[in-house]
Amino acid sequence: MFKSPYLIGIDIGTTICKAVLFDSELKQVSAAEKEYPMPLCPKDGWSEQDPDIVLNGALTVIRKVVRNPQVDPATIKGICFSSQVLGLTPISKDGEPLRHAISWQDRRATSQAEWIRRKIGEEMIYDITGHKIGPINIEPMILWIKENQPDVYSRTYKFLCIKDYVEFRLTGEIATDPSCLVTSLSFDIRKAERSDELLDLMGIPSDKLPDIKPSISIAGYVTDTMSKPTRLRKDTPIIVGGFDTVVASLGAGIVRPGLILDASGTSTVISLHMDRRLLNRLMPKRQFYLSCHVIPNQYTCISVLVTTGAVLRWFRERLGGEEVRAAREQGVSVYSIMDREAEAVEPGSNKLILISQFEGARENASLRGVFFGLSLGHTRAHLIRAILEGVALSMRERLEALEEAGVPVKKIMLIGGGARSRIWNQIKADVMGIPMIRMDVDEAGPLGGAILAGTGVGIFKDVAKVAERRAAVREIFKPKPDVHAKYEKLYKIYTMVSNGLNQYFTTLYEAKI
């Protein structure tokens, strides 16, 4: 029997929005999801999305979960969003978006990032923010708009990330949180506030940026205008929320220092939970960055593999016609068909290696995807397994940075859509040589959001304790020594290929063809 009051957690992803209605004991009452198109790519390296498509996806899933006949909307006491980072949306004084949102996958601001690097320097930026300069950061994107769309820039009242835009439309209030500034080059992580010094050096007025509030604080209340399209009661509290990976780690119960999380969906985010700021200049060289957690006075060290599940979706849409037909005939997910085909291929994919950076990396826009070693003997099944292995090999490369910085990597917790693939989980264990632990939570993001919502409105007292009590393990994947030995050899080749191609990626990216 479900018990009121009720809470809603909502996760805004790159291509899908999910909402789950929970009771006061965090038992799932109802759930809904709404897919929307992949971001548009009008030019090479560009990625953008209509923010109102995302907004409508959020409104749709809210309506669906509130429709439950057992639930009186008056008993819904709090709602909290988590989201992809960025989706940078400039809005006018009237609150209207002035252009499409610039996605976290976008790399157009390369020259602006280089200008910041020359003017301010990597060391100063890292020592203040915990970040390395790259085109994915908020400030280079703002400077790109300033230089290339001056009319949009001059009319911009606030630059909002996508979560903040959706919350603004629901409440009329503008705010962001520290965890969503994981891509900011002006957020002083030591003081948990914006750096006026850095903003002045970049020429960006602070009044064009939203105020920063704690993740568990109330952003605002559902307006009368938004009550009807959501079926929510007017004045229902909306909690500020945070960056999807951090909120999902809360939902999975990853709240102790030293625990490492792999959250795989469109992208893969590797995160290390910490109770102190780890500013080690070795980290950004291997693409790890520091972020505030949604838990007060906690931190997370993050590395992002931009295209992981996205490569599987690319295969499904461009090459997977037979798999799609088989899935339709059998009434199963196409990804279960793809998993089955990958399982039939020997480890190593018959010496086929994937470099999975289809849309570049956070700090290097020129990187691209490569199938290395392709022959006439390879089939689609080899390609599928090579994708799964390529992502795992890239993950291993990132995790070595933690060990070099003195952080032991003994096991990894798994959540997200990618964790549903047993073959992928086993491949990761075999490549890394350590156990992969799938957490017993299907929608960690919405659950983490519900925990934040309950804490924000006073139903829960301690956000970390609530999350830890709810955490459970579903399955453990242990490495197979003989397979791990094969992947040791493959990993050495992978690193040689990956490192060796970097200069050629840059040449291709800059070529006027």
pLDDT in tens, 296-342: 889 998 888 989 999 999 999 999 999 999 999 999 999 999 999 99
89: three-class secondary structure by DSSP: strand
pLDDT computed for residue 455 by the predictor: 97
Spell out the domains of the chain, with CATH numbers in brackets: 6-252+441-471 (3.30.420.40), 305-439+475-507 (3.30.420.40)
Please name which of 44, 46, 16, 43 lies closest in space to residue 32, comparing C-alpha atoms.
Answer: 16
Beta strands 436-439; 473-477: pairing state: antiparallel
Tell me the per-residue pLDDT of 420-439, one tens digit each, with 9 for 90 and over: 999 999 999 999 999 999 99
Confidence category of residue 12, pLDDT binned at 50, 70, 90: very high
Residue 71: is its pLDDT beyond 60? yes
Residue 251: is its pLDDT beyond 80? yes
Tokens 């965090």 locate to 26
Question: From its phi and psi, is residue 331 left (phi > 0), alpha (psi between -120 and 50) or beta?
Answer: left
Residue 286: is its pLDDT beyond 70? no
pLDDT computed for residue 405 by the predictor: 77
Rounded to an integer, what distance in angstroms lies between the CA atom of residue 193 and that of residue 368? Answer: 35
Confidence category of residue 161, pLDDT binned at 50, 70, 90: very high
Cis peptide before 481 (omega within 30 of 0): no
Residue 282: is its pLDDT beyond 60? no
H runs (alpha helix) in 290-406: 309-318, 321-330, 334-343, 380-404
Please name which of 392, 363, 393 lies closest in space to residue 498, comparing C-alpha atoms.
Answer: 393
Rounded to an integer, what distance in angstroms lies between the CA atom of residue 140 and that of residue 144? Answer: 6
Residue 279: is its pLDDT beyond 70? no
Residue type, 416: G
pLDDT computed for residue 408 by the predictor: 86
The answer to whether 9 touches 22, Cβ cutoff 8 Å, is: yes
Bridge partners for 101 per DSSP: 49
Beta strands 412-415; 260-264: pairing state: parallel
For residue 176, what are the CA distances in angstroms to 81, 159, 271? 11, 10, 21
Rounded to an integer, what distance in angstroms lies between the CA atom of residue 22 and that of residue 70? Answer: 12
The answer to whether 447 touches 26, Cβ cutoff 8 Å, is: yes
Confidence category of residue 131, pLDDT binned at 50, 70, 90: confident
Rounded to an integer, what distance in angstroms lies between the CA atom of residue 171 and that of residue 165? Answer: 10
Q: What is the DSSP string of 101-116?
A: EEPTT--TTHHHHHHH
Rounded to an integer, what distance in angstroms lies between the CA atom of residue 170 and that of residue 161? Answer: 15
Residue 359: is its pLDDT beyond 90? no
pLDDT computed for residue 403 by the predictor: 84
H runs (alpha helix) in 187-307: 196-202, 224-230, 244-251, 282-285
- What percent of the chain stands above pLDDT 70? 97
The answer to whether 20 touches 31, Cβ cutoff 8 Å, is: yes
168: three-class secondary structure by DSSP: helix
What is the pTM for the complete model shown? 0.86
Tell me the per-residue pLDDT of 201-250, one tens digit each, with 9 for 90 and over: 999 999 999 999 999 999 999 999 999 999 999 999 999 999 998 999 99
For residue 424, what are the CA distances in angstroms to 206, 257, 400, 417, 431? 44, 26, 20, 11, 10
Residue 510: is its pLDDT beyond 90? no
Confidence category of residue 503, pLDDT binned at 50, 70, 90: confident
Which of 413 and 41 is assigned the larger pLDDT? 413
Burial of 432 (0-12, 13-18, 19+ CB in 10 A): buried
pLDDT computed for residue 280 by the predictor: 57
pLDDT computed for residue 363 by the predictor: 66
Residue 411: is its pLDDT beyond 70? yes
- Tally of CB atoms within 10 A around 468: 14
pLDDT computed for residue 1 by the predictor: 56
> Residue 8 is inside which H or E element, if any?
strand 6-12
Residue 442: is its pLDDT beyond 90? no
Query: Out of 144-153, 162-171, 263-272, 450-459, which region has the weakest mean confidence (pLDDT)?
Result: 263-272
pLDDT computed for residue 130 by the predictor: 87
pLDDT computed for residue 496 by the predictor: 96
Kindly report the average pLDDT of the chain as a whole number: 93
Confidence category of residue 513, pLDDT binned at 50, 70, 90: confident
List all residues 6 or more positions away from 246 whose beta carbon is below 8 Å from its beta carbon: 82, 179, 182, 271, 291, 293, 294, 300, 448
Beta strands 369-372; 353-356: pairing state: antiparallel
pLDDT computed for residue 295 by the predictor: 94
Hey, what's the torsion of the CAs at 404, 408, 409, 414, to 10 degrees? -120
